[in-house]
Amino acid sequence: MLDPALLRQQPAELAQRLRDTRGYELDVAAIESLEADRKRIQVRTQELQSLRNSRSKAIGQAKAKGEDVSAIMAEVAGFADELKASEVQLDELRAQIEGLPAGTVNVVANA
């Protein structure tokens, strides 16, 4: 099995090694496209998680002061669906990236 980190971080070099040692053509463009999508969605997911955490903290602080929290809760609910969808997309992309090398032959280690 191919090293997933090598597949994500150095797809062109890995493709060249597979071509030279095994005659296997790795679809570098597909890997790079999936990885770019994964990074973009991961950043957005982390932003949403951070926003959720900060707004949840604000809810706790407002409740402690006896303030109305309905507006903040509505805001959190508004991006909760986007966060869930983003997490699902991220999981799907990770599975696709990890599944790419499933049918791939091993590359000979550099000596």
Residue 44 within any structural domain of the chain: yes
* pLDDT of res. 27: 87
For the chain, the domain total comes to 1
- The DSSP call for residue 90 is H
Domain for residue 109, yes or no? no
Establish if 96 belongs to a structural domain.
Answer: yes
- Burial (CB < 10 A; 0-12, 13-18, 19+), residue 103, is exposed
The answer to whether 27 and 104 have CB atoms below 8 angstroms apart is no
What confidence tens digit (pLDDT) does each residue in 70-97 have? 999 998 988 888 999 999 999 999 888 8
Task: Establish if 43 belongs to a structural domain.
Answer: yes
Cα atoms in the Cβ-side hemisphere of radius 13 Å centred on 5: 0
Domain that holds residue 29: 4-103
CATH code, domain with 50: 1.10.287.40
In three state form, how does the secondary structure of 12-77 look?
A: HHHHHHHHHHHCCCCCHHHHHHHHHHHHHHHHHHHHHHHHHHHHHHHHHHHHHCCCCCHHHHHHHH
Identify whether 111 is part of a domain.
no
Please tell me the pTM assigned to this model: 0.73
> 45 in a domain, yes or no?
yes
Given this model, what pLDDT does residue 1 score? 64
The pLDDT of residue 108 is: 54
